Amino acid sequence: MQSFPDERIRALEQSVQRWRLISLALLLALVSCCAISCTFGVAWLLRGNDFDDIHIMHAERDRAQEERMRAEQAQEELQRVRVEAEIARDQAEAERAKLAEEVARLKANRKPAPKEPDR
């Protein structure tokens, strides 16, 4: 009777050992698949097409920044020219008012011109 439990224990131990080997084999297969897919993923990433797209996006971003800076500079220049034009207009108006005042003063101080005799 002693041999039946020993055989049963041995069969269970062999079964457990088989399950361990199968589990290890499946785990190794899973890790191998992950490693291979990661390797192909990195190779696909490094093949260059994505880097070209990234470089194109960076170039477009730089171009947009340069255009924005040029637009800001043009806006500042326009503002400066407007201020200068307003100052020049104010100076011209002041000069015109001064001349009008001078003309009015001269007209008020002017003596009537003597009439020339008719010949």
The per-residue pLDDT string of the chain (119 residues; one tens digit each, 9 = 90 and over) reads: 568 888 899 999 999 999 999 999 999 999 999 999 999 888 877 776 666 777 888 999 999 999 999 999 999 999 999 999 999 999 999 999 999 999 888 888 876 666 776 65
Tokens of 23: 């589990």
Residue 116 per-residue DSSP state: P
Place of tokens 């194109």: 56
48: left (phi over 0), alpha (psi -120 to 50) or beta: left
What is the spatial distance between Cα 16 and Cα 22, in angstroms, rounded to a whole number?
10
What is the spatial distance between Cα 99 and Cα 105, in angstroms, rounded to a whole number?
10
- 0.75 exceeded by pTM: no
What DSSP assignment string belongs to 73-87? HHHHHHHHHHHHHHH
Tokens of 14: 């062999």
